[in-house]
Amino acid sequence: MALELKQLPEHAALQKDAERYPGSDVSAVETCLVLLRVSGDVEAAYGTHFARHGLSQARFIVLMTLQREDELRPAELAERTGVTRATITGLLDGLEKEGLVLRRAHAEDGRMSLVRLSAKGRQRLEGVLPDHYRRTTALMAGLSTEERQHLTRLLAKVAAGIPHVRDP
């Protein structure tokens, strides 16, 4: 299914805004709106995909991170997954309750804990990953390897501009 560009503002409306607000570039705004629409649609599609497996995207990312590491402190896990410490605590509580991760006290500092993937967590990933990788491959199938590499470079340039939106 093609991107529904009709759901985005008309070029003429954006041009009118650009005339009204100095520093506005219609092409930049249109490109950003398409990026936001596609990223939102991809995120929603992955949300549906992970829900079929009883996971959220955040829980999946935590499990995948732990699959690649022996053990991590919750603070390290939060940093590597890009969430706050409070968020990782909630994620780990749910994953532990479901038996997908195990926590144990740190050997040298009993105030800290270490988290690792449980056998059940590994089994869950083994059930998810074939479908996940098949769907991700299908998502990107319309792009050649060269186009994917080019897209990755372009997105890195976009990512470099994020502080201009986020920071005061």
User: Band of the pLDDT at 5, cuts 50, 70, 90?
Assistant: low
Residue 87 has pLDDT above 70, yes or no: yes
How many domains are there within the chain? 1
Q: What is the pLDDT of residue 10?
A: 83
pLDDT tens per residue, range 52-61: 999 999 999 9
Q: What is the pLDDT of residue 2?
A: 47
DSSP H helices, 57-106, are 57-68, 74-81, 85-97
Burial 102-129 (b: 16+ CB within 10 A, else e): beeeeeeeeeebbbebbeebeebbeebe
In a domain, 16, yes or no: no
In a domain, 104, yes or no: yes
Residue 3 has pLDDT above 70, yes or no: no
Tokens of 106: 């740190």
In a domain, 2, yes or no: no
pTM score, whole prediction: 0.84
CATH number for position 45: 1.10.10.10
CA distance linking residue 97 with residue 99, whole number of Å? 5
In a domain, 162, yes or no: no
In a domain, 42, yes or no: yes
- For 139, the 3-state DSSP assignment is helix
Residues spanned by the domain of 125: 26-139
In a domain, 4, yes or no: no
In a domain, 127, yes or no: yes
